[in-house]
Structure 1
Amino acid sequence: MSLDIRGISYVAGYTSGEAVRRDMRAIREDLHCTTVMVIDTDTRTQMEAARRALEVGLDVYIRPYVADRPHREILAHLSATAAAAEELRVQYPGRVTLLLGSEFSLTSPGMLPGPRVFIRLQVLVRWRRFFDRRITRKLNALLGAALPVARAAFGGPVSYAAGFWEKVDWSGFDLVGVNLYRLGPDPAAYQQRLRALLREADKPVVITEFGCGAHLGAERRGPGAFRIVNWFTQPPQVKDGHVRDEPTQAAYLAELIDLYAAHGVHGCFVYPFAMPDFPHRADPRHDLDMAGFGVVRVPPEDPSQWEPKEAFHQVARCYEAAERGVAASGTGGPMG
C-alpha cells in the first residue's frame, strides 16, 4: 500500500481570512488529508491560502491557473508564482511543491482551435484525435520553456498536471502528475490505463485530479458532469431527466482511492473541496451542485457556509484507512 500523499484541491479566492483557515483545518483534521493543492490566478490570494494550509500542518502543491492568455503571459505569471512559492518553501522546507500549470493544451491557445477554453473543450471532446500530434509537439515546447522559468525561481520539486490525453516528456520533472478521471462503461479499462501509467513512469506518480458529479450516471460521465447543465439559459438549468445522487459520487471516489492505494500510487488529489460556481439549490432544475465535483455543498449566497456531502465523509474514511493501510470503500477491493 502506498498513497503517501492524500490530497484534495482547493480553489482559492472565494473566501479569505478565518474562513480559509477553517477550511484548511477541516481538510487536515476531518478529511485526514496530508496535502492540499491550492489553485488560483491571483498569486497573492493563492499564497495566503497556501500559508494558512501550512500553518495547520498540511503540505502544499501550488498550481497557477491562467486561461486563454498568450504563452508569454503564462510564463510571466509562472515566474511570479514560483518566486512567491519559494518564499514559502524556505519557511517550510520540504513541504511545498510547484506545478507549472494544468492541461495547457486545453487552457492555453494554439494547440486546439478556439479562442476560449469552453470552445476548445468542445473540439477536444469531439475531434481530439485529429490534433494529437500537434498537441504533443506544442505542449512539450511550452513545457520546455516553462520548466527553466520555474527552476530559476523555485528550489523545490516541480511537476505539471497533465490531461490524460497529453503525452508529456517527464524527463525534467521531479514527479509525474496526471488528471486521470474515470469515465465510460468499462472500469477495467481505467485500471489498465493506470497500470500502464505506473509501468511507464520512472519517477513517483501523482493523480492530480479525479472526481465526478453527484447525480445518477455521473460515474460514467467523469469529467463531463458539467454537460448535464444547459449553460445558455439564464439562470443555467439542469437538463430534464437528471437526478441528484450523492452516493454515486461517494462510491466513485472511494473506488479510485482504494485503487490508487492498492497499485502503489504515490499520491492523489480529489477535485475539488468546493465549487462555488456550482451552488446547491433546493430546486432540482437549478441545483448546479449535482453537476459539480465538490465534496461540500455551497449555497449561492455565501461560499463559506458549506455543508459536507456524502463524498466528504467517504473521502475521510478512505484517507484515514489508507493511513492505516487498509481498503475502505466497502467494495471488497479496488474496482478501477
Structure 2
Amino acid sequence: MEKTRGISRAHFLAGAAALSVAATVLPSRPAAASGGGLRHRGVVYTVGAGETPGTAWSAARMRRDIGAIRDRLHADTVDVTGDGVERLTTTAAEAAERGLHVWLQPTLADAPERDILEHMAECGRYAERLRRQGASVDFSVGCEFWLFVPGIVPGETVMERVENLLKGNVDPVRMQRELDRVTAKAAALGRSVFHGNLSYAAAQDDTVDWRLFDIVGIDYYSYFRHHADYVRELTQYRRWGKPLAITEFGTCTYEGAPQAGGMGWNVIDYDKGEIKGDLVRSEHTQAVHLTDLVRVFESMGLYAAMAFEFVTPDAPHRPDNPKKDLDMASYSITKAIKDRPDDPRSSWHWEPKEAFYALARQYGGCAQQR
C-alpha cells in the first residue's frame, strides 16, 4: 500500500511496542564513529510513491531527483526506500554513481513474510555489489516490522493492523515475541548477503536487540520546546555503544504539525479527499522544526540523519483550494503540483518548500566547513 509511505505513512504508533527483548545474537562489526557534527546528512527518497497513472515511478524523473538531492539540497546521503527490487536498485546505483552515500532500505508491505525477506535479500545482494565496487553503502533490513510484516499484529493490511493496535486488539507479549523472531531472521539473512554496516529502522519506543546490528536506526518524530530535551531523549539510544542514525525525521506543513509528531498526517478525510477542520498552511513551521532538529543532531555528532521525505506525489499542493491542499498533510520537503489538479492522469512537477531551502543552507554550509 504505497499510501502508507506518504500521507498515511504509519509512524502513527511509533513506539507502540516497548516490551522485553528475546532474540539470538549475531556477530556485529561497529560502524566507524563520527567526529564533530553529523557524519551523513540526507533525505528519504521513496521509490514507487504514488501508483496512480500520473504519479507512477519513472526512471527519468528519479535521475533528475537524485541530481537535485545532490546539487540543490546539498545532501551527501539518500535513503532509498520503498518496494520493487528493480526500482530500488536502479535508484541506489544512480545515487552511488553521483557520489552520494547510499542507505538502502527495502520496505515491501502486506506480502507473505517469506516474500518480504526475499525482497530484502535481493536488495542486500545488490547493495553488497555496490559496496565491493567502492560505493559508500549502508543496508537496512527494513522498517518497523510490526507495521509492515503481516502476522506480528492482527490484520491483513497496514491500515487494518493500525486499527487493531488503536483498539487494543493485540496480545503484546505475542507481538513482541513475533517482532523479535522476524527481526532476528531478517538480521541473519541480511548479514549473509551484505558485509558492510547493517541496520534497521525502528519506531522510537520499539524494543529491539541492537546487538544484531552495527548501527542503531530510529524513526524520530518527537517534539520538544527545548533542545536539551531532544538531547536527553536521544541519548538513550546510545546505550548500546553503537552509532546512531535518525532514519526519518520531519513534520507536516501546517501550524501545529510538529506537536502532532508522527500523527501529523491524520488530518485528511479520505472519503471526501480533503483536509479536516481549518488548518493553516505553514511551510515556515515545517522549515523551523527540521532545521532545529538538524542542529540537535549536529550537536550530538550522530552518524546520520535523513529527513522524511523528498517528495510525496500522491499528496498534491492546491494553492487555489485549501481544503484540497493535501500537501499540508505531507512530510515532504517539496510540493507536488499537478498540471490538471482534478485529473488523476495529469502530469506533475515538484517545487521546493521553505524546508527544502532551509535544509539546503544547513547541508551546504556543513559541506563547505568540511
Q: Same fold (TM over 0.5)?
A: yes
Mapped to 1, the partners of 2:258 and 2:172 lie a distance apart of 26
Match of 1:293 among 331, 352, 357: 331
Match of 2:138 among 89, 97, 104: 97
Is 1:219 the counterpart of 2:254? The answer is: no
Provide the secondary structure at the position in 1 that maps to 2:79. strand
Is 1:162 the counterpart of 2:202? The answer is: yes
Is 1:197 the counterpart of 2:241? The answer is: no
* Residue 306 of structure 1: aligned partner: 350
Q: Structure 2 vs 1, CA of residues 38 and 3 (structure 1 numbering), >3 Å: closer, same or farther?
A: same
* Residue 32 of structure 2: aligned partner: none
Paired residues for 1:166-245 under 5 Å? 166-183=206-223, 189-198=229-238, 200-233=239-272, 236-245=273-282
Paired residues for 1:4-19 under 5 Å? 4-13=39-48, 14-19=56-61
The amino acid of 1:220's aligned partner reads Q
Q: 1:197-232: CA deviations, max 9, x gaps? A: 22x131100000011100011011122121111112
Q: Tell me by how many angstroms 1:136 deviates.
A: 3.0
Unaligned stretches of 5+ residues in structure 1: 327-336
The answer (yes or no) to whether the contact 2:46–2:80 under 8 Å persists in 1 is yes
Match of 2:364 among 320, 325, 330: 320
The answer (yes or no) to whether the contact 1:7–1:36 under 8 Å persists in 2 is yes
Q: Structure 2 vs 1, CA of residues 303 and 318 (structure 1 numbering), >3 Å: closer, same or farther?
A: farther
Provide the secondary structure at the position in 2 that maps to 1:53. helix
Provide the secondary structure at the position in 2 that maps to 1:31. coil
Q: Structure 2 vs 1, CA of residues 265 and 178 (structure 1 numbering), >3 Å: closer, same or farther?
A: same
Paired residues for 1:65-76 under 5 Å? 65-76=107-118
Q: Tell me by how many angstroms 1:62 deviates.
A: 0.9
Provide the secondary structure at the position in 2 that maps to 1:114. coil
Q: 1:275-324: CA deviations, max 9, x gaps? A: 11211112111111010011111123567621000000011112223346
As a proportion of its length, which structure holds more helix? 1
* Residue 278 of structure 1: aligned partner: 315
Unaligned stretches of 5+ residues in structure 2: 1-35, 49-55, 340-345
Provide the secondary structure at the position in 2 that maps to 1:69. coil
Q: Structure 2 vs 1, CA of residues 23 and 154 (structure 1 numbering), >3 Å: closer, same or farther?
A: same
The amino acid of 1:77's aligned partner reads H
The amino acid of 2:338's aligned partner reads P
Provide the secondary structure at the position in 2 that maps to 1:159. strand
Provide the secondary structure at the position in 1 that maps to 2:264. helix
Mapped to 2, the partners of 1:111 and 1:18 lie a distance apart of 37
Q: Tell me by how many angstroms 1:140 deviates.
A: 1.7
Provide the secondary structure at the position in 2 that maps to 1:306. strand
Paired residues for 1:50-61 under 5 Å? 50-61=92-103
The amino acid of 1:160's aligned partner reads Y
Q: Tell me by how many angstroms 1:17 deviates.
A: 3.3
Q: Tell me by how many angstroms 1:123 deviates.
A: 4.1
The amino acid of 2:246's aligned partner reads I
Q: Structure 2 vs 1, CA of residues 237 and 117 (structure 1 numbering), >3 Å: closer, same or farther?
A: same
Match of 2:295 among 246, 258, 278: 258
Mapped to 1, the partners of 2:66 and 2:195 lie a distance apart of 25
Q: CA RMSD in A?
A: 2.2
Identity of aligned residues (%): 35
Provide the secondary structure at the position in 2 that maps to 1:298. strand
Provide the secondary structure at the position in 2 that maps to 1:322. helix
Mapped to 2, the partners of 1:160 and 1:131 lie a distance apart of 23
Provide the secondary structure at the position in 2 that maps to 1:305. strand
TM-score (norm 2): 0.81
* Residue 153 of structure 1: aligned partner: 193
TM-score (norm 1): 0.88
